[in-house]
Amino acid sequence: MKVVMEVPDELKLKEDEVKIAALAKLYELGKISSGKATKLLGISRVEFLDLLGKYKVQIEPIQRRNF
């Protein structure tokens, strides 16, 4: 699936920032594993966990679901 979204210029967000925020939220909700998120972002797990801290997302998802 490909998602296309328009973001107002005044938000001054880069495409990568939106992608990271979306994947961080999906991880927090237990919808995606950290491994899957790192593959989609092309970064290491340590880098992803660091990003979670910047987005104030708990390291362990609230709910555990089968991935």
Mean pLDDT of 3-11: 86
Q: Identify which has the larger pLDDT, 64 or 47.
A: 47
pLDDT 10s digits, 24-50? 999 999 999 999 999 999 999 999 999
What does the mean pLDDT of the chain come to?
87
The answer to whether the CB of 15 falls within 8 A of the CB of 23 is no
Nearest alpha carbon to residue 40 among 59, 21, 61: 21
- Residue ranges covered by each domain of the chain: 14-54
The amino acid sitting at 64 is R
Q: How much of the chain, in percent, has pLDDT values that exceed 90?
A: 57
Q: Exposed, middle or buried: residue 48 (CB in 10 Å: 0-12, 13-18, 19+)?
A: buried
65 pLDDT more than 70: no
pTM: 0.78
Token digits of residue 7: 């973001």
